[in-house]
Amino acid sequence: MCAFRLTATVFTGLALLAACGERAPGGGSGWACPGIAARSGIGLDIEPPLAAKVAKASLNGKDIDLAESTKAVPATCTGANPQDSCQATMVPTGGKNGFLDVVGMATAPMRVSVRLLDAAGEPILEKDIELTPKEVFPHGPECGGGQPQAGVIVAADGTLRARG
């Protein structure tokens, strides 16, 4: 019985993966679109070594959860041919990141206030920046699901810049 469930689960997963690559209805040149949408809001990236000092962050007076930033680095490959498999490992960058969901955000210029606090609750940085959110589509404009997003990068020296 267990083997049947495992086999059924594997075949269901393969069918779902195969469906992701199907052509769009009507023989169009596009691929079928997944049922996903972007989040509307503002991202925050704090570069090292400043990030190590930051315990709390807020955007426009609203607290955001911070996570450790990571990046993918190549690990090992089974060979040098295109059909060979490779893996990557996620490693910490020393930075931190967060996201503030903003319902109804427009794609017009806006002022964003960034406030960073240390573990004692003392301000590390309090600055404003002007950003213009752009519509982001998780699988391309032809699939819909677009939402406005903007991003702020806090550099190691405390300067702010818009994420491109």
Sign of CA dihedral 155, 158, 161, 163: positive
Q: Which neighbouring-strand residues pair with 112?
A: 129
Cβ-based burial of 14 (10 A; exposed 0-12, middle 13-18, buried ≥19): exposed
pTM over 0.85: no
Residue positions counted in the chain: 164
d(C-alpha 45, C-alpha 90), whole Å: 17
The helix (H) or strand (E) run that includes residue 17 is helix 2-20
Q: 125 with 53: CB under 8 angstroms? A: no
In Å, what is the CA distance from 126 to each residue of 49, 51, 136, 157?
Answer: 17, 14, 28, 13
Could you tell me the residue ranges of all domains in the chain?
A: 33-162
Q: What is the pLDDT of residues 60-92, one digit of tens each?
A: 999 999 999 999 998 888 888 888 888 999 999
Distance CA(125)–CA(158), nearest Å, equals: 7
C-alpha dihedral over 100, 101, 107, 110, to 10 degrees? Answer: -40
**pLDDT tens-digit series, residues 16-60:** 334 444 434 433 455 688 888 899 999 999 999 999 999 999 999
